[in-house]
Structure 1
Amino acid sequence: MTLHPDIERVTARITERSRASRGAYLDLVNRQRDAGTHRPQLSCGNLAHGCAAAGADQARIKAGNAMNIGVVTAYNDMLSAHQPYGVYPDQIKSWAREVGATAQVAGGVPAMCDGVTQGQDGMELSLFSRDVIAMATGVALSHHMFEAALLLGICDKIVPGLLIGALRFGHLPMILVPAGPMPSGLPNRDKVRIRQLHAEGKASNSELLEAESASYHSPGTCTFYGTANSNQMMMEMMGLHMPGASFVNPGTKLRQSLTRAAVHRVLEIGWNGPDYRPLGRCIDEKAIVNAIVGLLATGGSTNHVIHLPAIARAAGVLIDWTDIDELSRVVPLITSIYPNGSGDVNAFAAAGGMPYVIRELVGAGLAHDDIATVYGDKLSDGAKQPSLVEDALVWADGPSASTNNVMLRPVSDPFQPEGGMRLLQGNLGRATMKVSAVAPSRWTIEAPCRVFCDQHAVIAAFEAGELDQDTVVVVRFQGPAANGMPELHKLTPPLGVLQDRGFRIALITDGRMSGASGKIPAAIHCSPEAQKGGGLGRLRDGDIVRVCAEAGVLEAKVEPKTWQARTLADPPAFVPGSSRELFAMMRAMATEAEAGASAMLGAAGL
């Protein structure tokens, strides 16, 4: 199938824009491969330290004639998605020995749970934890003991952080190793109903806790289509997973077999393997475009309009929100997963999942097939369904038709003709709106605004009945420089209640919303942020504000001279606690959201 002309045009523009930065990055990859520090170049003392605890693998590591795999793990047993990783290192070492290689845990990275920190002070560390993860990955791989690596991580900031750090060692072949989603729990419609009843004071805390515990109930990734599961989709669209690995439940033989296959495959594509495929060459302009296309076609998390620019910059590729917006105009929405629909990722996988999505997008000329994946030279090679036949892992062609048209449709009959993201811009700045979960009748609202500097103040105003009217709710000073750009997902239930009461409601913020957010039209990641003089700082209660996803408008209906004459609002005083004070340097150095909202990449000049 011929590539869609707009996909080709946007890719060409990104390639031209990135020519110098991508060239510099590939020079780095080549230098590290050809002249960097390698295990054979380590001194005797270096090498002795590096394998002192390797036990039976020590002799093989010292001999230097077998590949050594570095494992970077985000294991902890507080985070359900990462709890299964506890047993992976020993398994990986065993499977490496099967093919004459060795493996060592190179290092661990933090993995915080946004579900735990929603609405709490700790959420102000969440986005910057991605930079910490990237730096920790860099520390782990800096020992130069490895010819390949496996990256163990799933959730919101963890996968982007792992990739950003790993790309600085882009001469090493690497595979992302998922652990899979938990089995389905309480139906999503029931969870939403209890949350909104609780917001109205019609359900008790114990009833809410019971519903939440029935939803999030066992090891594995949360099953809604938020940032974590959008991560897994993107890894498949970039060819960085073993085919069909994303949505196989933990603790199954198939899950274990896929991890074993990743160990064996990373050796084949490793430094001295027969099919060398370094990460830095796998992640290129085409792979990044594929990730964007997958995000749009599946109605994925808004967090990735921040993460994708950061990942891309780490590989020398420069993308912006205009690129995403233009791609969204030609990529149809072909999935309907909660919060965009009723079913979860387990139901999505059963309907055909990623093998079907890849097949449809490549077949329609909407994704680049000619990318270097960890398993072959075509993305479509990954449109395979894994299964066990007599305990042996086999891959069969993915389904040619969806088994559930309520969840998954062909490109020829999509849920919406365009993708899930829109760029809005005007005198309030540039922002993103996820429209895939919002009824088209709600894409435009023009109403007086109420301005807040804290999400808890919004909830208090809701409980006092102050928002019972058509309202544009503005929450400012929530950007990366102000307070680390927390998610404001706790606003979804009360704003949803107001909308259900018949009011026209929208949200504008320079903060983030959860990857699970939907229903309410929300212009988010507004840039420049209020802390840096953005337009949100000029708003006053009662200003008429227009939010229009159809025309891409985000503006205060204020006469230009009056607008420019207004003084900017003062930010709230910073209150230390929950270690937020330790992240002052990151807040001070963070780039704008459109450039990835990263202090680390900004400081590195990327």
Structure 2
Amino acid sequence: MHPVIERVTQRIEARSKKLRQDYLQRMEQARQQGPHRGALSCGNLAHGFAACDKGDKGELRSLTKANIAIVTAYNDMLSAHQPYHAYPEQIKSAVRAVGSVAQVAGGVPAMCDGVTQGQPGMELSLISRDVIAMATAVSLSHNMFDGGLLLGICDKIVPGLMIGALSFGHLPFIFVPAGPMPSGITNKEKARVRELYAEGKVSKDELLEAEAASYHSPGTCTFYGTANSNQLVIEIMGLQLPGSSFVNPGAGLREELTRVAAQQATRITDLGTDYRPIGQIVNAKSIVNGIVGLLATGGSTNHTMHLVAMARAAGYLIDWTDFAELSDVTPLLTRIYPNGEADINHFQRAGGMAFLIRTLLDAGLLHEDVETVAGSGLRRYTQKPELHDGKVTWVEGPSASLDEDVLRGFERPFSSHGGLCLLRGNLGRAILKTSALPEGAGTVTAPAVIFSSQHELDAAFKAGRLDRDCVVVVRFQGPKAIGMPELHKLTPPLGVLQQRGYKVALVTDGRMSGASGKVPAAIHVTPEAVDGGLIAKIEEGDLIRVDADSGTLELLVDESVLAQRQVAKIDLTESHFGMGRELFGGFRQQFSGAEQGASALFEPVPFPDHSS
């Protein structure tokens, strides 16, 4: 193992010892109750199988056959989740063929950030992760199940399903993906049209045509945002079948992978001889593996919150210093949009997960000695699935990249370090995604221009007020303020300013997610403005330094001057009502900071002192 990978893993284990012990003790107590249907009264059990056919009722009466919960995020507005429509019947049939039973235990909400970008509903996006976690727990609360299949792909949905499943950590769970849509127009062309529209050079009809040619069919969006980052991280953590992440919907291999996942879920319950509960699979080593996979591919910055919350659900404390130290020794091995021109289908054809995991294992950057839903050891995931005579088999994946413009080995990476940088300074702590930055763009010192929404910035850009070197500050966007929406409307105008030759950067307590790209963006600034963070004291024209090279984020104003300033206040009422937002005031009040996972679900615990 690389010594830094080992050191960070050991530090996480030591830091989390008491929390992890408490978690494992609770999970063992739950396991000792045995197959939970045995604890149900006759009336309870009769309700639980009332709608089943005669054969399934008999199996559930016996208490010896596994009952697999299906928790689904299906809806047919999300292109990624529309293929799930047929999955429950496929799963039930597959499970029945091996003598067990599957039931849809419940559905969880699944919103599309692509639809809500720039709209009021986007302010419910991050909140929805905790709602999904709770809905998962409710789905599993009937004591009817011996294991589960989790049907989810997109941004907050996979982390929410994971957190909910970990509260039933004595049960095994397998994530079942549905795959990305085939490639549409190139991501480069899509970005070009967006920037032309921001400048008023193309019409709205032309913009819609470009967007519709990109997002054009069932399946996950093909750029490397949070949805595809979810799939990669979950697979590298051993919670999906090897090579199952990026097989397109409708393919014969896709259907066979779903069948195998369903039947494998029955084999790893406590009723069999290969018990693999999720609470044991998710440990410090698998969490570090997930972070390394994210960094090696320039994945979504949302996971600097999601992985923190997911780890916390399993009794582990991780923070941005862990991410930063791992990033320093993890090479960037992919170029997938927004960190390049290729999409996720190109990554799959270049060697995909099998080659990525092989090269990271061989470099000592992943823990091989982990448990997975497919068996012991991560080396199993260097194999790829193929369809032979209608059945899936696993064969050795490629030992060399099939397209070095998209995916490379450890010996010739695109960069010697991962795609994330931790910024520290008097403005607090922030994340900056470096993997898509042009050469020399990572350091900007310029006067501040202040906004309290992405819409204000858009108006200023169109009025020509930003045609200069500047650090754009968009504040009061954090979890407690308005639920921390993603601020994708910032990307096109800031990209245009950069193309015009101006030195520009962004500082915000909001999010940019997997689509943050070529503009240096200090995001997730913590503490946020409504928590009294220094970002709330910045005034127009103050010099700010954003420096990815040195990892600093500084407001260059004398401390004596800052001491005299008042913290800015704004009326956020407009963001707290309408589109259902009034129902989530309690969540906003309870949110932890971004570095603690931006969650309302967990009791606060002290994090390490980073003052040094």
Task: Report TM bin, short chain.
Answer: over 0.9
Matched, 1:379 2:384: no
1:28 aligns with 2:29: no
Matched to 1:52, the amino acid is: A
Q: For residues 45-194 of structure 1, what are the structure 2 equivalents within 5 Å?
A: 45-56=43-54, 57-194=56-193
How many Å separate the matches in 1 of 2:338 and 2:117? Answer: 17
1:394-429 deviation line (CA, Å, top 9, x unaligned): 111110000100000111100000000000011111
1:98, 1:164 → 2: CA distance?
A: 30
Is 1:8 matched with 2:6? Answer: yes
Within 5 Å, give how 1:409-448 maps onto structure 2. 409-448=408-447
Task: Kindly state the Cα deviation for residue 37 of structure 1 after the two structures are TM-superposed.
Answer: 7.5
State the match for 2:563 in structure 1. 564
Shift of 1:205: 0.5
Q: CA deviation at 1:274?
A: 1.6
For 2:103, give the aligned amino acid.
Q
- In the other structure, the counterpart of 2:585 is 584
Preserved contact between residue 590 and residue 602 of structure 1 (Cα < 8 Å): no
> 1:523, 1:404 → 2: CA distance?
32
Paired residue secondary structure (1:446): strand
Counterpart CA distance in 2 for 1:571 and 1:169 is: 41
* Distance in 2, Cα, partners of 1:229 & 1:119: 21
Q: In structure 1, how many angstroms separate the alpha carbons of the residues matched to 2:264 and 2:237? A: 16
1:117-150 Cα distance to aligned partner (Å, 9 max, x none): 0000000000000000000000000111011100
Q: Secondary structure at 2:544's aligned position in 1?
A: strand
1:208-287 pair list within 5 angstroms:
208-287=207-286
**Whole-angstrom distance in 2 between the partners of 1:565 and 1:316:** 42
Residue in structure 1 matched with residue 610 of structure 2 by the alignment: none
Q: CA 1:603/1:579 → structure 2, altered by over 3 Å: closer, same or farther?
A: farther
Contact kept, 8 Å, 2:347 with 2:407, in 1: the verdict is yes
Q: Is the 8 A contact 1:531 1:571 kept in 2?
A: no
TM-score (normalised: structure 2): 0.98
Q: Is the 8 A contact 1:80 1:221 kept in 2?
A: yes
What does 1:34-45 correspond to in 2, within 5 Å? 34-35=32-33, 38-45=36-43
Task: Name the Cα RMSD after superposition.
Answer: 1.2
Task: Supply the distance in 2 between the matched residues of 1:555 and 1:571 (Cα, whole angstroms).
Answer: 23
Matched, 1:600 2:598: no
Q: Give me the whole-angstrom Cα distance separating, in 1, the residues matched to 2:497 and 2:46.
A: 65
Contact 1:186 1:214 (C-alpha < 8 Å) held by counterparts: yes
For 1:181 and 1:303, the matched residues in 2 are separated by 19
Deviations 1:555-594 (A, max 9, x none): 1100011112211000333121111111100000000000
Cα distance in 1 for partners of 2:328, 2:444 equals: 21
Counterpart Cα distance in 1 of 2:561 and 2:411: 49
- Give the alignment of 1:453-472 within 5 angstroms: 453-472=452-471
Per mean C-alpha deviation after superposition, the further-off stretch among 564-573 and 169-178 is 564-573
- Given that 2:81 and 2:153 are in contact with CA atoms closer than 8 Å, whether structure 1 keeps it comes out as yes
User: 1:403-552 residue pairs with structure 2 within 5 A?
Assistant: 403-552=402-551
Q: For residues 462-504 of structure 1, what are the alpha-carbon distances to aligned partners after superposition, in whole Å with 9 as ceiling and x for unaligned?
A: 0000000001000000000000000001110011000000001
Instruction: Using the TM superposition, give the Cα deviation of residue 96 of structure 1 relative to its aligned residue in structure 2, in angstroms.
Output: 0.4
The unaligned stretches of length 5 or more in structure 2 are 608-612
Does the Cα contact within 8 Å between 1:421 and 1:433 map onto a contact in 2? yes
Q: CA deviation at 1:535?
A: 1.1
Quote the Cα distance in structure 1 between the aligned partners of 2:321 and 2:524.
Answer: 14
| Amino acid in structure 2 at the alignment position of 1:578 | M
Cα distance, 1:58 vs. partner? 1.7
Cα shift readout 1:177-218 (whole Å, capped 9, x = no counterpart): 000000000111110110000000001000000000000000
Q: Tell whether the 8 Å contact from 2:64 to 2:271 is kept in structure 1 after alignment.
A: no
Contact (CA 8 Å) 1:426, 1:554: kept in 2 or not? yes
Q: Give me the whole-angstrom Cα distance separating, in 1, the residues matched to 2:135 and 2:518.
A: 37
**Deviation for aligned residue 1:391:** 1.1
Q: CA deviation at 1:440?
A: 3.5
CA–CA distance in 2 between the matches of 1:27 and 1:37? 18
Report if the CA contact (8 A) 2:329-2:418 is conserved. Answer: yes
Alpha-carbon shift at residue 602 of structure 1 (Å): 4.0
What is the rounded CA distance, in whole Å, between the counterparts of 1:517 and 1:209 in structure 2? 21
Contact 1:72 1:107 in 2 (8 A): yes
Decide whether the 8 Å contact of 1:591 with 1:602 is kept in 2. Answer: no
Between the aligned partners of 2:182 and 2:572, the Cα distance in structure 1 is 44
Post-superposition Cα deviations, 1:444-465, rounded to whole Å, max 9, x if no partner, equal: 0000010110110000000000
Contact 1:99 1:264 in 2 (8 A): yes
Q: Answer yes or no: is the 8 Å Cα contact 2:506–2:519 preserved in 1.
A: yes
- Give the SS at the match of 1:224: coil
Distance 1:311 1:289 in 2: 12
Does structure 2 conserve the Cα–Cα contact (< 8 Å) formed by 1:453 and 1:572? Answer: no
TM-score, reference length from structure 1 = 0.99
**Aligned residues of 1:172 and 1:279 also touching (Cα < 8 A):** yes
Q: Are the equivalent residues in 1 in contact too, given 2:33–2:39 (CA < 8 A)?
A: no
Relative distance call for 1:360 and 1:299 in structure 2 (3 A) is same
Alignment length, in residue pairs?
604
Separation of aligned partners in 2, 1:196 and 1:594 = 32
Q: Percent identity?
A: 60
3-state SS in 2 of match to 1:387: strand
Rounded to whole Å, the distance in 1 between the matches of 2:34 and 2:458 is 54
Cα distance in structure 2, aligned partners of 1:80 and 1:171: 32
Q: Residues 290-369 of structure 1 correspond to what in structure 2 (within 5 A)?
A: 290-369=289-368
Return the letter of the residue paired with 2:11. Answer: R
Letter of the 2:495 partner, please give it. Answer: G
The alpha-carbon distance between structure 1 residues 235 and 75, as it changes in their structure 2 partners (threshold 3 A), is: same
Conservation of the 8 A alpha-carbon contact between 1:388 and 1:394:
yes
Contact 2:35 2:63 (C-alpha < 8 Å) held by counterparts: no
Deviations 1:162-190 (A, max 9, x none): 00010000000110000000000011111
Partners of 2:513 and 2:64 in 1: CA distance: 47
Offset at residue 392 of structure 1 (A): 1.6
Aligned to 2:11, the other structure's residue is in SS state helix
Shift of 1:294: 0.3
Q: Which runs of 5+ in 1 are unaligned?
A: none
| Structure 1 residues 459 and 602, CA gap change in structure 2 (3 angstroms) | farther
Q: Tell me, yes or no, if the aligned pair for 1:95 and 1:263 is still in contact at 8 Å.
A: yes
Partner of 2:130, secondary structure, is: helix
Report the secondary structure of 2:569's partner residue.
Answer: coil
- What amino acid does structure 2 have at the position aligned with 1:319? I
**C-alpha distance in 2, partners of 1:574/1:415?**
46
User: Quick one: which amino acid aligns to residue 346 of structure 1?
Assistant: N
Check whether the contact 2:13–2:284 (CA below 8 A) recurs between aligned residues: yes
Question: For the Cα contact (< 8 Å) 2:71–2:104, is it kept in 1?
Answer: yes
Compared CA separation, residues 602 and 581, structure 1 to 2 (3 A): farther
Moved more, 55-64 or 103-112: 55-64
Contact 2:225 2:515 survives alignment (8 Å): yes
